[in-house]
Structure 1
Amino acid sequence: MTAAIGAFERMDGRLAVGGIDVERLAARVGSTPFFAYDRALVTQRVAEVRAVLPERVHLHYAVKANPMPALLQHLSGLVDGFDVASGIELRNALDTPTPASRIGFAGPGKSEAEVCQAVASGVVLEVESERELVVARDASVATGIAARVALRVNPDFTVRGSGMRLGGGPQQFGIDSERVPTALATLSDYGLDFQGFHMFAGSQNLRHADICEAQRRTVELAGRLGDAAPGPVRYLNLGGGFGIPYTDRDQPLDLGPIGENLHELMAGAVPKLLPQAQIVVELGRYLVGEAGVYITRVVDRKSSRCKTFLVVDGGMHHQLAASGNFGQVIRRNFPIAVANRIDAEPAGPVTVVGCLCTPLDLLGDNVELPKAGIGDLIALFQAGAYGLTASPTAFLSHPAPLEVVV
């Protein structure tokens, strides 16, 4: 049994989410498939992170991981701030009690309307290019509000072990570190309110040593770049990159050494190089990924040339990552279970497929599951991040699933 499945409760042999057994929850939601997010597991994960972070380090939630408004409302009482990547995410974040001053807006290709929205809202605009500095200047003039600006830096180093690299080499993200001094001079000429820097070098990393190295190098680089800034560095977003295990081969990330590394930085390099900076760690997937489950119902059981298939009413159009089509080089099964028979013994290998008319719609290949048939509920775990909003919901025009926080 994987750790992901074990994190959830059981009630009378059935999976439970938020203290509600899955069959009752399906009846309460009213239809399958659906995503369910366990608020207690989210709260627990935030507490685990808080326990290792230095008190002076702020914890932000990366909204792109899961922007469901009800989930944001819950997280607003747990984290120090939000980081958004679109105008709609910004509006949803502003609808929570989180102060605008603790919201950062990053991402390449922001529209002029989005930049103006950020300036008028008073959030930290994390500028990704020289062009965005010009747009920020124009928005400041139009609104009469000096844009609160942090430069997103494309560092001159890469992070080993990251599932996706967002820094080092040529990138669409941020301003190359060697060009930052020129950008800082331009920012000063434009009269913008300089806040600091944002550096995010990689995501989905399960190796604490690599994350620690990235944090150390980020602080060092920010200290050097700050020498050319028009004012003190008051904000440094270290990014995150904390990964979660998706398969049995993955080992969970060890938070302890990361916390120790941050304590050392806050006691040494930060007060020396960045004495006025508020340090931010930005996490998305790590806070919510393991608290979510995708529930879908078996609509057919069939045999084809000695292979058994369970056909469900959901599929890759809702949970693309589980199908292996979300950038994975090698497809591996996500944790999967028969939710209404969670403790039953396996009865042999089956292949779980969705309802789409494509062989890509594969949710579990030759997985050992208890005997399941029409009407049974299948649970796909690790579904709390990059699930619904990262999937092609319009593909083949099937209905969209619902989402609930319980």
Structure 2
Amino acid sequence: MPMSASFKDRLFPRIPQIQQHFQTPFHIYDESGIRETGAQLVKAFSGIPGFREFFAVKALPNREILKLMKEMGFGFDCSSIPEVILARELGARPEDIMFTSNNTSQEEFDFATQDGGCIMNLDDISLIEKVPHFPEMICFRYNPGPRRTGNVIIGNPEEAKYGVSHEQVVEAYRQAKERGATRFGLHTMVASNELDYTYIVETARMVLEVAEEVEAALGIKFEFVNIGGGFGIPYRPEQKTLDLARMSAEVTELFDGFRKRHGHAPAMFMESGRFMTGPHGALVTTAINSKDTYRRYIGVDACMSALMRPALYGAYHHIDVLGKDRDPKTEIYDVVGSLCENNDKFAVQRELQPIEDGDILVIHDSGAHGHAMGFQYNGRLRPKELMLRADGRVELIRRAETVEDYFATYDFEPSVLPAGA
């Protein structure tokens, strides 16, 4: 179940007009779909006092997308200086920004603590002494290691570079108290694109159990626990959607149980990115070449600089051929870009309708980790981004990169370190 029927019904009839006005390739996002998903999340977890979504900015760092998140009352999960800048430019307050970084530099710590700071989520116990102005509120990212079976995509926790180990977690909060922290949160992130709702439920159970252990050891109370992101979307047509209703009911029950045992319970935060925007975006591209050698290839005017998930992960993205999407799929193609890399492919040996030069291809589910993961290798540049507004307008929300952009970093003041200096 890739693109929703609603998005498809509103988008596909407009694509020829959009293509004529803006030209391909482009990513296009669905404002209505994003807002509907946000409303579903809020409703699903309304039984947990203090629930809040912190949108993972890395998934789709576009100002207009982040404006939607702010309008829905969401915060921002940031892991770099530019992401914090984006959030602050939109008026995000310190409590609206969760700064979750790893291998954090002193420059990043200095920046994160400016303008009132943010919710500092430390990735390692060694970072406690490196925070220049230690905040009143502190959070640690917890890595369960062998205590938890890894999510199929993110891998086994004990192999991950992220987080404080179970053996370190109490000591981390003890040291934070010594540096002056008086308010506390707990975070974890152990799943990616998980469609089995029970894995998310067990993640919530895990962080609540760790919170109980730390509270008992140090006499502190957690204001929140952050169960991370990892809510999956069904990229393949045969996959089922994440059961949000059952998941939220069981997670809410866990928080209710914590409250009954202790007389209080932390708020619950999460940092969904893919779930919020992934299905509500598409990469639209035009077939410009066909090649018949050992395989049959369809070359398009986009390449993996616009969507690298298939090349990086072997990920599946559903493809429709505009105007032919109801026709029989009688051909087998590799759908490829123009990059000088053999893995520059959007689909490998995919059954599709017959494709001719000039046909428009719609590559589904590019709304997260699509444009954001782009790059400039081979001098291939990232495409424009558009928004299909709720009122039917189509708006340019980021222009395509230009050759001038590519050469902009050569515009600098000369700087030379003399020999022998």
Q: For the residues of structure 2 that align with 1:320 and 1:274, how far apart are their CA atoms?
A: 48
Q: Given that residues 293 and 379 in structure 1 are in contact (C-alpha distance below 8 angstroms), is that contact kept between their aligned partners in structure 2? A: yes
| 1:95 pairs with 2:84 | no
Give the match for residue 308 of structure 2: 320
| 1:35 pairs with 2:27 | yes
Q: For the residues of structure 2 that align with 1:26 and 1:273, how far apart are their CA atoms?
A: 58
Deviations 1:275-307 (Å, cap 9, x if unpaired)? Answer: 2522112211111110010111111123225x4
Q: For the residues of structure 2 that align with 1:270 and 1:171, how far apart are their CA atoms?
A: 32
| 1:251 pairs with 2:208 | no
Give the match for residue 23 of structure 1: 16
Counterparts of 1:110-121 in structure 2, within 5 Å, are 110-120=104-114, 121=116
Give the match for residue 49 of structure 1: 41
Give the total of aligned pairs.
384
Give the match for residue 143 of structure 1: none
Q: For the residues of structure 2 that align with 1:350 and 1:35, how far apart are their CA atoms?
A: 22
SS at structure 2 position matched to 1:201 = coil
Q: Post-superposition shift, 1:44?
A: 1.4
Give the match for residue 400 of structure 1: 382
Structure 2: segments with no counterpart, 5+ residues? 389-421
Out of 328, 344, 355, the residue aligned to residue 338 of structure 2 is 355
- TM-score of the superposition, structure 2-length normalised? 0.84
Out of 318, 324, 330, the residue aligned to residue 335 of structure 1 is 318
Q: Which amino acid aligns with 1:24?
A: Q
| 1:105 pairs with 2:99 | yes
Q: Which amino acid aligns with 2:302?
A: G
Counterparts of 1:283-302 in structure 2, within 5 Å, are 283-302=272-291
| 1:126 pairs with 2:121 | yes
Query: Which deviates more, 87-96 or 346-355?
Result: 346-355
Counterparts of 1:129-278 in structure 2, within 5 Å, are 129-136=124-131, 138-140=132-134, 146=135, 148-156=137-145, 157-165=147-155, 168-229=157-218, 231-270=220-259, 272-273=261-262, 275=264, 277-278=266-267
Q: Post-superposition shift, 1:68?
A: 1.4
Q: Given that residues 303 and 344 in structure 2 are in contact (C-alpha distance below 8 angstroms), is that contact kept between their aligned partners in structure 1? A: yes
CA change 1:241–1:271 in 2 (3 A) is farther
- TM-score of the superposition, structure 1-length normalised? 0.87
CA change 1:274–1:89 in 2 (3 A) is farther
SS at structure 2 position matched to 1:175 = coil
SS at structure 1 position matched to 2:222 = coil
Q: For the residues of structure 2 that align with 1:212 and 1:315, how far apart are their CA atoms?
A: 38
Deviations 1:242-294 (Å, cap 9, x if unpaired)? Answer: 11112245322111221111220232114534825221122111111100101
| Identity rate, percent | 22
Q: Post-superposition shift, 1:130?
A: 2.4
Query: Which deviates more, 103-112 or 180-189?
Result: 180-189
Q: For the residues of structure 2 that align with 1:333 and 1:129, how far apart are their CA atoms?
A: 34
SS at structure 2 position matched to 1:405 = strand
Q: Which amino acid aligns with 1:225?
A: V
Q: Post-superposition shift, 1:80?
A: 2.8
Structure 1: segments with no counterpart, 5+ residues? 141-145
